[in-house]
A and B are shown apart, each in its own frame.
Chain A
Amino acid sequence: MSSGLDSSILTLVTFIPLAGALILAMLPRRDKEIRVFALVVSLVDFIVSLHLPAHFERAASGVFQFEVNIPWISSPNIHYHLGVDGVSMWLIVLTTFLTPLCVLISWNSIHGRVKEFFILLLVMETALLGVFVALDLFLFYFFWESTLIPMALLIGMYGHGRKIYAAVKFFLYTMIASVFMLAGILWLYAQTGTFDFVDIQRAIQSGQIAHFSTAATWLFLGFFVAFAVKVPLFPLHTWLPDAHVDAPTAGSVLLAGVLLKMGTYGMWRFNLGLFPEQSRHNAPWIVALALIGIIYGALVAMVQPNMKKVIAYSSISHLGFVVLGIFSFTQAGLDGAVFVMLAHGVSTGGLFMLAGILYERRHTYEISEFGGLATPMPVYSTFFLFIVLASVGLPLLNGFVGEFLVLSGAFQAHALYGILGATGVIWSAGYLLWMYQRVFFGKVKHDVNNALPDLSLRERTALLPAAIMALVMGVAPLLWLNSIDPAVHNSLALFTQMASKVVGQ
Chain B
Amino acid sequence: MNRTDAITLLPLIVVAGTSVLAMLATAVRRSHVFTLCMTLAGLAAAFGCAWPAGARAPRQVTALLIIDDYSLFYFRLLIAAVFAIAILTYDYLRKRDLHREELYILLLIATVGAMVLVASSHFASFFLGLETLSISLYAMIAYLRRPRPVEAGIKYLVLAAGSAAFLLFGMALVYADLGTMEFARMAQLLPGTPGDALLISGMVLIITGIGFKLAVVPFHLWTPDVYEGAPAPVSAFIATVSKGAMFALLLRYFYSAGALANRHIALIFTIIAIASMIAGNLLALLQNNVKRILAYSSIAHMGYLLVAFLVGGEFAVDAVTFYLVAYFVTTLGAFGVISVMSGGDGEPEQLEDYRGLFWRQPALAGVFTVMLLSLAGIPVTAGFIGKFYIVAAGASSARWALILILVISSVIGLFYYLRLVAAMYATPDKEPAAATMPAAFIGGAVLAALTCVLLWLGVYPNPVLRMIENVFPK
With A172-B414, A179-B407, A187-B395: A116-B469 Cβ-Cβ less than 8 Å = no
In the complex, are the beta carbons of A171 and B407 less than 8 A apart? no
Query: B318: CB under 8 A from chain A?
Result: yes
In the complex, are the beta carbons of A73 and B422 less than 8 A apart? no
Chain A 139-153 interface 0/1 with B at a Cβ cutoff of 8 Å (1 = within)? 001110110110001
Give the shortest distance, in Å, between B464 (CB) and chain A (any CB): 10
Task: Identify which of B74-82, B105-113, B372-380 touches chain A.
Answer: B372-380
A394 — which chain B residues lie within 8 A by C-beta? none
In the complex, are the beta carbons of A189 and B414 less than 8 A apart? no
Contact among B358, B398, B418, B466 for A190, CB-based, below 8 A? B398
In the complex, are the beta carbons of A145 and B359 less than 8 A apart? no
A176 — which chain B residues lie within 8 A by C-beta? 411, 414
The count of A-to-B residue pairs whose CB atoms sit within 8 angstroms is 77
Contact among B318, B380, B398, B414 for A175, CB-based, below 8 A? B414
Whole-angstrom CA separation of A73 from B457 in the bound complex? 11
Chain B 343-386 interface 0/1 with A at a Cβ cutoff of 8 Å (1 = within)? 00000000000000011001000000000010000111000110
In the complex, are the beta carbons of B362 and A116 less than 8 A apart? yes
In the complex, are the beta carbons of A164 and B425 less than 8 A apart? yes
Query: A421: CB under 8 A from chain B?
Result: no
A434 — which chain B residues lie within 8 A by C-beta? none
B418 — which chain A residues lie within 8 A by C-beta? 168, 171-172
- Chain B: CB-nearest residue to A164: B422
Give the shortest distance, in Å, between B356 (CB) and chain A (any CB): 11
Chain A 162-184 interface 0/1 with B at a Cβ cutoff of 8 Å (1 = within)? 00100110011001100100110
With A146-B379, A168-B422: A74-B362 Cβ-Cβ less than 8 Å = no
Query: A75: CB under 8 A from chain B?
Result: yes
Give the shortest distance, in Å, between B372 (CB) and chain A (any CB): 11
With A72-B462, A76-B392, A190-B395: A113-B359 Cβ-Cβ less than 8 Å = yes
In the complex, are the beta carbons of B378 and A74 less than 8 A apart? no
User: Using a CB-CB cutoff of 8 Å, which residues 449-471 of chain B contact chain A?
Assistant: 460-462, 465-466, 469
Contact among A116, A141, A189 for B395, CB-based, below 8 A? A189
Give the shortest distance, in Å, between B309 (CB) and chain A (any CB): 18
B379 — which chain A residues lie within 8 A by C-beta? 141-143, 145-146
A112 — which chain B residues lie within 8 A by C-beta? 359
Give the shortest distance, in Å, between A477 (CB) and chain B (any CB): 36
With A172-B414, A172-B415, A189-B395: A183-B407 Cβ-Cβ less than 8 Å = yes
Give the shortest distance, in Å, between B285 (CB) and chain A (any CB): 13
A186 — which chain B residues lie within 8 A by C-beta? 391-392, 395, 403
In the complex, are the beta carbons of A175 and B395 less than 8 A apart? no
Whole-angstrom CA separation of A101 from B403 in the bound complex? 43
- Chain A: CB-nearest residue to B458: A142
In the complex, are the beta carbons of A156 and B422 less than 8 A apart? yes
With A157-B425, A182-B391, A189-B395: A74-B359 Cβ-Cβ less than 8 Å = no
In the complex, are the beta carbons of B378 and A148 less than 8 A apart? yes
Whole-angstrom CA separation of A157 from B365 in the bound complex? 13
Of A113, A149, A153, most B-chain CB atoms within 10 Å: A149
User: Using a CB-CB cutoff of 8 Å, which residues 403-443 of chain B contact chain A?
Assistant: 403, 407, 410-411, 414-415, 418-419, 422, 425-426
- Chain B: CB-nearest residue to A183: B407
With A149-B378, A176-B411: A190-B396 Cβ-Cβ less than 8 Å = yes
A182 — which chain B residues lie within 8 A by C-beta? 391, 407
Whole-angstrom CA separation of A149 from B315 in the bound complex? 29
Chain A 296-336 interface 0/1 with B at a Cβ cutoff of 8 Å (1 = within)? 00000000000000000000000000000000000000000
- Chain B: CB-nearest residue to A144: B379
- Chain B: CB-nearest residue to A171: B418
In the complex, are the beta carbons of A75 and B318 less than 8 A apart? yes
Whole-angstrom CA separation of A176 from B403 in the bound complex? 15
Give the shortest distance, in Å, between B116 (CB) and chain A (any CB): 31
- Size range of the chain B interface in the assembly: 35 or more
- Chain B: CB-nearest residue to A141: B379
In the complex, are the beta carbons of B425 and A153 less than 8 A apart? yes
Whole-angstrom CA separation of A145 from B410 in the bound complex? 15
In the complex, are the beta carbons of A179 and B318 less than 8 A apart? no
Give the dominant DSSP class at B's interface: helix
Give the shortest distance, in Å, between B423 (CB) and chain A (any CB): 8
B362 — which chain A residues lie within 8 A by C-beta? 113, 116
Of A145, A153, A156, A171, most B-chain CB atoms within 10 Å: A156
With A146-B379, A171-B418: A74-B395 Cβ-Cβ less than 8 Å = no
Give the shortest distance, in Å, between A488 (CB) and chain B (any CB): 30
A146 — which chain B residues lie within 8 A by C-beta? 379-380
B378 — which chain A residues lie within 8 A by C-beta? 145, 148-149, 175
Chain B 251-294 interface 0/1 with A at a Cβ cutoff of 8 Å (1 = within)? 00000000000000000000000000000000000000000000
Give the shortest distance, in Å, between B142 (CB) and chain A (any CB): 38
A157 — which chain B residues lie within 8 A by C-beta? 358, 425
In the complex, are the beta carbons of B358 and A73 less than 8 A apart? no
A167 — which chain B residues lie within 8 A by C-beta? 422
Of B362, B380, B384, B460, most A-chain CB atoms within 10 Å: B380
A141 — which chain B residues lie within 8 A by C-beta? 379
B318 — which chain A residues lie within 8 A by C-beta? 75
B396 — which chain A residues lie within 8 A by C-beta? 190
Whole-angstrom CA separation of A156 from B420 in the bound complex? 13
B373 — which chain A residues lie within 8 A by C-beta? 149
Give the shortest distance, in Å, between A186 (CB) and chain B (any CB): 4
- Chain A: CB-nearest residue to B396: A190
In the complex, are the beta carbons of A189 and B392 less than 8 A apart? yes
Whole-angstrom CA separation of A183 from B403 in the bound complex? 9
Give the shortest distance, in Å, between A256 (CB) and chain B (any CB): 23
B385 — which chain A residues lie within 8 A by C-beta? 73
Chain B 104-137 interface 0/1 with A at a Cβ cutoff of 8 Å (1 = within)? 0000000000000000000000000000000000
Give the shortest distance, in Å, between A130 (CB) and chain B (any CB): 10
Give the shortest distance, in Å, between B459 (CB) and chain A (any CB): 9
- Chain A: CB-nearest residue to B370: A149
In the complex, are the beta carbons of B411 and A175 less than 8 A apart? yes
Give the shortest distance, in Å, between B172 (CB) and chain A (any CB): 41
Whole-angstrom CA separation of A68 from B465 in the bound complex? 23
With A168-B418, A172-B418, A190-B395: A74-B407 Cβ-Cβ less than 8 Å = no
Give the shortest distance, in Å, between B426 (CB) and chain A (any CB): 6
Whole-angstrom CA separation of A148 from B418 in the bound complex? 12
A142 — which chain B residues lie within 8 A by C-beta? 379-380, 384
Give the shortest distance, in Å, between A322 (CB) and chain B (any CB): 26
Contact among B389, B426, B462 for A164, CB-based, below 8 A? B426
In the complex, are the beta carbons of A73 and B414 less than 8 A apart? no
In the complex, are the beta carbons of A156 and B425 less than 8 A apart? yes
Whole-angstrom CA separation of A141 from B385 in the bound complex? 12
Of B410, B418, B461, most A-chain CB atoms within 10 Å: B418
- Chain B: CB-nearest residue to A190: B395
User: Using a CB-CB cutoff of 8 Å, which residues 114-158 of chain A contact chain B?
Assistant: 116, 138, 141-143, 145-146, 148-149, 153, 156-157
Whole-angstrom CA separation of A493 from B396 in the bound complex? 32
Whole-angstrom CA separation of A182 from B410 in the bound complex? 13
Chosen A-B contacts, 30 in total, with CB atoms closer than 8 Å, are A72-B462, A73-B461, A74-B466, A75-B315, A75-B469, A116-B362, A142-B384, A145-B378, A145-B379, A145-B384, A146-B379, A148-B378, A149-B373, A156-B422, A164-B425, A167-B422, A168-B422, A171-B414, A172-B414, A175-B411, A175-B414, A176-B411, A176-B414, A179-B407, A179-B411, A182-B407, A183-B407, A189-B392, A189-B395, A190-B395
Q: Which 3 A-B pairs have the closest CB atoms?
A: A186-B395, A190-B395, A145-B379
